[in-house]
Amino acid sequence: MEVKIGIRNAARELEFESAQSAAQINEAVNAALNGGAKAISLVDSKGVVHIVPAEALAYVVIGAEETRRVGFIA
């Protein structure tokens, strides 16, 4: 699952592949924005934990799951 997080006052966005499902990521983002949580914590596919303060979130893009292609693309 591709995840892109825009952070206020930062020139670049945080982009990584996550093993979490879209529902789990959506739930974590909603908890940070609506539930009063101080930060959002997501784990990428390599096991690295990304923690972003909730007040610093500008946007979150949750991409579709992409299967790896095998062979040549014509």
Q: What is the average per-residue pLDDT within 52-67? A: 85
Position 67 scores a pLDDT of 63
Q: Which residues of 12-22 are buried (b: 16+ CB within 10 A; e: fewer)?
A: eeeebebebee
Q: Is residue 49 part of a domain?
A: yes
Position 64 scores a pLDDT of 74
* Higher pLDDT pick, 38 / 35: 38
Domain, as residue range, for 8: 2-62
Position 74 scores a pLDDT of 61
Q: Is residue 52 part of a domain?
A: yes
Q: Is residue 50 part of a domain?
A: yes
The pTM assigned to this predicted structure is 0.77
Q: What is the average per-residue pLDDT within 20-31? A: 90
